């Protein structure tokens, strides 16, 4: 397996706490101020560097709860530990996904010095963002996020944004595009609101949602003018375009491949597959913690009986996808956390997450390509 699989992403949860309280958040302990200790960071680093799953480089993302509620000094210490233990000289790519409300000049200086990739969560123009992304008093956070974005730009720090698509903003494509242009935002990704964790239902579970999402993406493509990633990159469109143009390569989904995505919580617990699983508790499986860095190597995860049970069910679900879904070759087997959230089982095929994030995206991008090629416009 080590020859076939390499890790694509490590998610480090420095705290479970988040300073805001979004309506669709799935995190259980976002009101608890649990924090990762630097001794835990050291254990994680040791486990990563002794693992064969990181041959050349590692993408390390601080995410969930809000990473900037932990002081800059913690991250300075953590990066210093990783650099000291990196005896194999693996290339380390650091990323932080933040709600943007706590960005200060001190953070910007740190981001710049350490060359950290930044993702800011914002759901579009104020009326859409503030409908869901609220603080603990229920007040919208848009102006605070925008202040953080302006600070990043003042410091010439590159960043992209992640937006959650819900029923509140799914019809806002044109306003969304204008918002990106006005605020000089050059990369955006869309996550669909999922029924998972503490968010038991999604506002996207209505009849016309697929048509609405297709119209949303089509409007963005129209606004963009072409399908290239010049000026503003749209992750869903860019990734699908890449996948269509590289269809002769086999698809491997990191979400269903053991250890391809690794998540560590503040206590050093280890999980894999969909990152959302680390914080979940399920009546059938219990939690999805397959080991702990103080007791286990990363390879020990593969020997955990709980891992075997979960993996067997996830792979059964992937086989169902392969057998029943025409889109398998561009997807690779779905998202386990969405399967569990929507159906209570990994051993299922289609989810709303597939219908939106794979099928609708493919149909929209493929139609745009077909139209351009038939009209001889070119890709």
**For binding to another protein (CB under 8 A), which residues are involved?**
8-9, 11, 59, 61, 63, 95, 97, 117-119, 158-162, 186-189, 191, 229-231, 233, 235, 239, 242-255, 260-261, 275, 326-327, 329-332, 362, 366, 369-370, 373-374, 378-379
Q: Report which DSSP code applies to 199.
A: B
The Cα 346–Cα 264 span in angstroms is 21
Q: How far apart are CA 220 and CA 281, in angstroms?
A: 37
C-beta of residue 152 within 8 angstroms of C-beta of residue 112: no
Q: Which residue's CB is nearer to another protein, number 72 or number 244?
A: 244
Residue 192's DSSP bridge partners are 165
- DSSP secondary structure letters along 68-88: GGS-HHHHHHHHHHHHHH-TT
Query: Pairing between strand 269-272 and 261-264?
Result: antiparallel
CA angle 188, 189, 191 (to 5 degrees): 145
Enter the DSSP assignment of 314: H
In terms of CB distance, is 43 or 261 closer to another protein? 261
Shortest Å distance, C-beta 71 to another protein: 23
Residue 283 or 378: which CB sits closer to another protein?
378
Instruction: Locate 33 and state its tokens.
Output: 């101020």
- Between CA 100 and CA 118 the distance in angstroms is 10
Residue 61: strand, helix, or coil = strand
Q: C-beta of 35: minimal distance to another protein in Å?
A: 21
Cα 139 to Cα 259: distance, rounded to the nearest angstrom: 39
Q: Nearer to another protein by C-beta: 36 or 116?
A: 116
For residue 275, the minimal CB distance to another protein (Å) is: 6
Q: Are 163 and 220 in contact (CB under 8 A)?
A: no
Closest separation between CB of residue 177 and another protein, Å? 15
Nearer to another protein, 42 or 254 (CB): 254
Minimum distance from residue 120 beta carbon to another protein (Å): 9
* Minimum distance of another protein from residue 34's CB (angstroms): 20
CB of 244 to another protein, least distance (A): 5
What's the rounded Cα separation, in Å, for the pair 272 and 261? Answer: 6
Query: Nearer to another protein by C-beta: 295 or 371?
Result: 371
Rg (CA), the chain: 20
Q: Which is nearer to another protein, 5 or 72 (CB)?
A: 5
């Amino acid at each position: 397996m080590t020859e076939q699989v390499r890790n694509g992403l490590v998610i480090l949860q420095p705290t479970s706490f988040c300073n805001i309280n979004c309506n669709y958040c799935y995190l259980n302990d976002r009101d608890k101020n649990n924090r990762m200790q630097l001794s835990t960071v050291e254990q994680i680093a040791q486990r990563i560097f002794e693992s064969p799953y990181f041959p050349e480089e590692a993408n390390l993302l601080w995410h969930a709860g809000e990473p900037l509620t932990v002081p800059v000094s913690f991250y300075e210490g953590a990066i210093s530990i990783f650099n000291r233990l990196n005896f194999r000289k693996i290339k380390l790519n650091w990323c932080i996904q933040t709600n943007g409300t706590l960005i200060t000049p001190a953070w910007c200086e740190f981001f710049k010095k350490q060359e950290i990739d930044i993702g800011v969560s914002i759901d579009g123009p104020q009326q859409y963002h503030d409908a869901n992304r609220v603080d603990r008093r229920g007040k919208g956070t848009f102006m605070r996020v925008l202040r953080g974005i302006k600070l990043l730009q003042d410091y010439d720090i590159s960043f992209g944004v992640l937006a959650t698509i819900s029923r509140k903003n799914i019809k806002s494509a044109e306003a969304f595009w204008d918002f990106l242009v006005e605020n000089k935002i050059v990369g955006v990704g869309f996550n669909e609101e999922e029924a998972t964790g503490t968010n038991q239902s999604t506002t996207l579970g209505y009849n016309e949602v697929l048509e609405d999402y297709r119209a949303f993406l089509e409007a963005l493509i129209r606004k963009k003018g072409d399908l290239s990633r010049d000026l503003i990159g749209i992750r869903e469109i860019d990734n699908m375009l890449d996948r269509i143009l590289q269809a002769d390569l086999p698809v491997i989904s990191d979400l269903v491949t053991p250890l391809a995505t690794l998540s560590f919580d503040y206590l050093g617990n280890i999980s894999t597959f969909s990152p959302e699983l680390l914080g979940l508790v399920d009546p059938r499986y219990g939690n999805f913690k397959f080991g702990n860095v103080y007791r286990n190597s990363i390879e020990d995860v593969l020997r955990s009986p709980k891992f075997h049970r979960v993996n067997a069910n996830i792979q059964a679900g992937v086989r169902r996808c392969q057998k029943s879904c025409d889109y398998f070759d561009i997807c690779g087997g779905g998202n386990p956390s969405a399967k569990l959230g929507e159906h209570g089982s990994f051993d299922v095929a289609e989810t709303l997450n597939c219908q939106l994030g794979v099928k609708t995206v493919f149909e929209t991008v493929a139609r745009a390509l077909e139209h351009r090629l038939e009209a001889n416009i070119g890709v």
